[in-house]
Amino acid sequence: SEPTSLIRMPARAAAPVQVLLDQAQYWHEKGRNDLAEQSLRRVLISDPEQRDAPYYLALYAAKDGREKDAKLWSARFAQASP
């Protein structure tokens, strides 16, 4: 039989990403998109294929008037989306 730790590994690996996504949501709700973006960038360090982070990074950049950043994050989101 397979070791138990290998079966649980994906759940543990996903937990830090979810914590960072939750932090991003929290900071966004508090009007601190700068801190929300920091959390979202950390998501992508932990999981470069994560699909929600580029979407929200594009959204926040667009809301802040950073058109170039918004386009870059939108393109990354489009690449990650099926």
* Spatial separation of the C-alpha atoms in residues 4 and 77, rounded to whole Å: 34
More confident residue, 34 or 4: 34
Q: What is the pLDDT of residues 24-61, one digit of tens each?
A: 999 999 999 999 999 999 999 999 889 899 999 999 99
CA 26 to chain centre: 13
DSSP secondary structure letter of residue 82: -
Of residues 48, 45, 69, the one with CA closest to residue 58: 69
pTM of the entire predicted model: 0.77
Q: How confident is the model at residue 15 (pLDDT cuts 50, 70, 90)?
A: confident
Task: List Cβ neighbours of 57 (8 Å cut-off, separation of 6 or more).
Answer: 37, 40, 41, 69, 73
Give the residue with greater pLDDT, 1 vs 57. Answer: 57
Compute the C-alpha angle 68/64/50, nearest 5°: 70
